[in-house]
């Protein structure tokens, strides 16, 4: 019986709380749970507001005109080959943009980023046999397919940037320079699968017992 009384009291309090003061006009400000004196500067901090007035500037406006020569952030990326993987005519870039220096350091960076972001699906050697395949992941294409071997580097860049089919985009994880580094490493993986003894420089063939 006691539980019935408690439940009834709860329902009454709830009903009065929700409906009791609907339409009423309050003459006093509502209770401030976090008063300004306890948290100074947190709620009523001085700041300019859009379209607001300001006594700091001579013209009385809070909104300020743009400085001379200001450039939008997106306009700074005017190297389409570097940031889009495309030439000026819209064709996919073949090879690497002029701004990308192909160096051993770039290859090392590409290997690192590839191992983190690409190998789980594409596998350590790019054959599509990553660890995700063991957990029911759909078929991941191998980089050693002739179609991908002949694909322009710019199109590979676009795929990394925007994703394709079941592959999600990686633009939020890989900077443009890192995407080119990954492509360089992918090309190295592809080359490693087709290398022959004739590709070894003559000065190093003896080290491999080729002479």
The distance in angstroms from the start CA to the end CA of the chain is: 100
Complete domains list, the chain, with CATH: 102-196 (1.10.760.10)
pLDDT, tens only, 116-158: 999 999 999 999 889 988 888 778 889 999 999 999 999 999 9
pLDDT, tens only, 63-109: 888 888 887 776 667 788 999 999 988 899 999 999 999 999 999 99
pTM of the model: 0.63
pLDDT, tens only, 168-179: 999 999 999 999
More confident site: 191 or 202 = 191
Asked whether the beta carbons of 107 and 135 are under 8 A apart, the reply is: no
Q: Assign residue 202 a region: left if phi > 0, alpha if psi is -120 to 50, beta otherwise? A: alpha
The predicted structure's pLDDT at residue 162: 95
Percent of the chain surpassing pLDDT 70: 91
Asked whether the beta carbons of 124 and 193 are under 8 A apart, the reply is: no
Cα–chain-centroid distance for residue 89?
Answer: 27
Backbone angles phi, psi at 167, to 5 degrees: -85, 125
**Residue 195 confidence class, pLDDT cut points 50, 70, 90:** confident
Asked whether the beta carbons of 181 and 110 are under 8 A apart, the reply is: yes
Q: Stretch 19-33: mean pLDDT, rounded? A: 69
Asked whether the beta carbons of 130 and 119 are under 8 A apart, the reply is: yes
């Amino acid at each position: 019986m006691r539980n019935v009384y408690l439940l009834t009291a709860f329902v009454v309090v709830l009903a009065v709380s929700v409906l009791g003061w609907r339409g009423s006009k309050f003459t006093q400000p509502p209770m401030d749970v976090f008063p300004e004196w306890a948290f100074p500067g947190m709620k009523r901090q001085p700041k300019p507001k859009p379209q607001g007035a300001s006594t700091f500037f001579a013209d009385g406006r809070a909104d300020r005109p743009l400085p001379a020569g200001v450039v939008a952030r997106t306009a700074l990326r005017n190297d389409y080959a570097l940031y889009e993987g495309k030439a000026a005519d819209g064709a996919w870039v073949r090879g690497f943009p002029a701004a990308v220096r192909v160096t051993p350091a770039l290859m090392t960076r590409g290997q690192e980023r590839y191992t983190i972001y690409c190998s789980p699906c594409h596998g350590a050697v790019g054959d599509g046999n990553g660890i995700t395949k063991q957990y029911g992941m759909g078929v991941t294409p191998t980089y050693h397919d002739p179609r991908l071997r002949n694909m322009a580097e710019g199109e590979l860049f676009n795929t990394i940037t925007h994703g394709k089919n079941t592959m999600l985009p990686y633009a939020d994880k890989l900077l443009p320079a890192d995407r080119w580094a990954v492509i360089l490493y992918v090309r190295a993986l592809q080359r490693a699968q087709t290398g022959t003894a004739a590709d070894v420089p003559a000065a190093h063939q003896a080290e491999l017992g080729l002479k």
